[in-house]
Structure 1
């Protein structure tokens, strides 16, 4: 493999001596290798293709039948746009996100990055460019290596932990100033497009907003940011989690995805009409999201724990839409500026694979435009007593995905079958676990 000149220049410019090269698997876990820079420049990097379809527990189940029987290698092809320094490393180290390439030289279609690239190409063929801006929530907690123990809030700089919810409280945010400074420092060193940090509703829960931009670049940056936060937490003897529902009785963590579509030539927002109102294209886009949320739910709400987050009556996890209404799953911000016209998908969890969650949301909207799907009536009130319109269990979400003609047509049978098989294996593993709740209430019966 001959490395891209831009990539070689980046390595030399940053005096990189060691390279962490990896790909995100179906769950968004980084799978790869650490290689001396000189060897990386001189040779190609390979890894078993089966690594892409491992479960969260490192197992293979039904999906093993869908893989290459010989468990052959794939090539990890570095993306020059996916290069980031490792600001916490002792020596100059680079992180490079790769594409997964088969032995025949083509992208492996079910690799998450390949899936997102394919969806983006659908837009490009129409002369459109999808734009996204994720908002990512996470919790900080006291470090405790016993998974049977509930998470507890960490101690802040004054020596006291939080005891109650503190949404948008500046003093509560400043309580964690040392770790927040490290998070921003790491993000700046990696040139991540992070913007506003706020204290969210949960105890020691935070949200970071990313600046809007290219869908693939933002998916890469979300992946990198999660690693930044975890590393900063380790340095402050804390734990950081992007688990969807890590704390009983507290709000879950979401990954809201703001999305719009602009013209590739003029760059103007196609979601706004010349009068500054919602364009017909925009209405069809939201109509597509409403219609296909049941099909794509397993990519937005991917884990057994994810459904603890959405099965709460006051959460905005539904297929309704409205303007400036935070109780709907598809919110159109009340913005005023034509170029800022967009929809916010509030259903995706922070535990979702950013490539697949963004790809799924964009795809549903794209198909809505192409099929000219109608938009349901706008909701102006709270949605608590309305039908949800999305699956409320992982079993149902996977069943919907398995049967989805749209996903099979647009993303291919292989991706759908492998993804569903992988998640069903995780679900079966979970069913065999005896939980603390069972021991607590059933042990003496």
Structure 2
């Protein structure tokens, strides 16, 4: 493995290495090292605490961490070796896997959590296939967080206004930026597919080709860095917040999912005669039962729940239906070979490794427990009662009480994730908002 990496580095005249590991929030942690130093020692060591930092950089109070704070042994996955196309000097990046000193995987590392779920499907002779859709906003630079966000200036010299869903000219307004995004993605072998203008002002969506969940999670992880970097170079921000602006819809990471037989390669969601299989219905049944329990993994921040409202074109339930975008679980029209379920619940702010592990875990439990789904919804599901926890606090309680999910994702991972999110919520709750100062300061 190492010889192949070193040969690639020599061939591309690489001078620096970005050695990265995804943490709980999806942030790239790690080290930047000279190529010559990397050639001597490609492994690196970091404390496990690196993985569980809150989004503000703090640490949970109760996390089941080893009090001696030992190092993890981080080893590069050669399949993730890629250019850093925006770097000034020839630079490469590698995603690392986390191990303990005895060689066992670190069970709380997000990449390992997803690998574990994939192993459970492997034991059933099944291989998950996913295709994520990534929504995000382009914004004018916003160095002062107290100032509301605004759309950027396009090639016409004007900021976009109004709703321009699916408008080609609205995408062309930012042609130079998207040319760089596509060039950067091509240089990193990120298999992006279509680009559309979404409902919100300067809200875009880029879809990925379907494939292996671990590879797609890696690509989404790198894609977020890529879009932000490209936007900086065009005097813009790109944000993957779930609900960045109060009068605009939120941004999702819709995940299309199917399963294929490892021996035959056939889509097991369809019978030989083309009809939906029992396994297909069980997968949906698992999603319906467990998605409300894993909401902290799909909606990880207080801001995430601002998106999940019928007034923002986001799902409010776990109903399912054929080609029905008002439900949380949509089955697009397709051939039997391409039959799949689209989970429309996760926000684009979710860690892709954790979100993919969670949605597949729900389907896995549906399969092994043979859970039957409700009848498909054929009308507007926004009319139905809200079926998710109403807040971050409620969602954390639901996840804590779901022992079946902890069995699949790992008890230690779930407990550490909850501890990190509780710390994060406590930090948020201390902040007094502008709304409170505006309406309460002199009126109550």
Does the pair score TM above 0.5?
Answer: yes
TM alignment of 1:150-165, pairs within 5 A? 150-165=148-163
Partner of 1:412: 410
Shift, 1:285, TM fit: 0.3
Partner of 2:98: 100
- Correspondence 1:55 to 2:84: no
Question: Residue deviations 1:291-345, cap 9 Å, x none?
Answer: 111221111111110000003444223100000000000000011x121100000
SS of residue matched to 1:384: helix
Of 402-411 and 281-290, more deviation after overlay is shown by 402-411
SS of residue matched to 2:365: helix
Q: 221, 241, 244: which is aligned to 2:242?
A: 244
SS of residue matched to 1:229: helix
SS of residue matched to 1:81: helix
RMSD after superposition: 1.1
Shift, 1:249, TM fit: 1.1
Q: 173, 193, 196: which is aligned to 2:194?
A: 196
Residues 128 and 263 in structure 1, CA contact (< 8 A), matched pair in contact too: yes
Distance 2:208 2:166 in 1: 18
Of 220-229 and 39-48, more deviation after overlay is shown by 39-48
Residues 311 and 392 in structure 1, CA contact (< 8 A), matched pair in contact too: no
Shift, 1:434, TM fit: 1.1
Question: Residue deviations 1:28-85, cap 9 Å, x none?
Answer: 011100001111121131111111011000001224x521212221111100111121
Where in structure 1 are there 5+ consecutive unaligned residues? Answer: none
Partner of 1:143: 141
Residues 309 and 315 in structure 2, CA contact (< 8 A), matched pair in contact too: no
Q: 209, 212, 218: which is aligned to 2:210?
A: 212
Partner of 1:76: 74
Shift, 1:394, TM fit: 1.0
Shift, 1:427, TM fit: 0.4
Partner of 2:224: 226
Of 36-45 and 299-308, more deviation after overlay is shown by 36-45
Partner of 1:185: 183
Of 387-396 and 38-47, more deviation after overlay is shown by 387-396
Question: Residue deviations 1:179-216, cap 9 Å, x none?
Answer: 01111110011010100000000000000000000000
Of 353-362 and 10-19, more deviation after overlay is shown by 10-19
Question: Residue deviations 1:404-431, cap 9 Å, x none?
Answer: 1112222222111100000010000000
TM alignment of 1:294-373, pairs within 5 A? 294-313=292-311, 314-335=313-334, 337-373=335-371
Of 113-122 and 430-439, more deviation after overlay is shown by 430-439
Shift, 1:8, TM fit: 2.6
Question: Residue deviations 1:331-361, cap 9 Å, x none?
Answer: 00011x1211000000000000000000000
Shift, 1:159, TM fit: 0.3
Partner of 1:389: 387
TM alignment of 1:245-324, pairs within 5 A? 245-313=243-311, 314-324=313-323
Residues 310 and 382 in structure 2, CA contact (< 8 A), matched pair in contact too: no
Distance 1:108 1:305 in 2: 29
Distance 1:250 1:307 in 2: 14
SS of residue matched to 1:66: coil
Residues 319 and 388 in structure 1, CA contact (< 8 A), matched pair in contact too: no
Distance 2:4 2:129 in 1: 25
Of 318-327 and 411-420, more deviation after overlay is shown by 411-420
Residues 113 and 410 in structure 2, CA contact (< 8 A), matched pair in contact too: no
SS of residue matched to 2:383: coil
Residues 255 and 343 in structure 2, CA contact (< 8 A), matched pair in contact too: yes
Residues 327 and 382 in structure 2, CA contact (< 8 A), matched pair in contact too: no
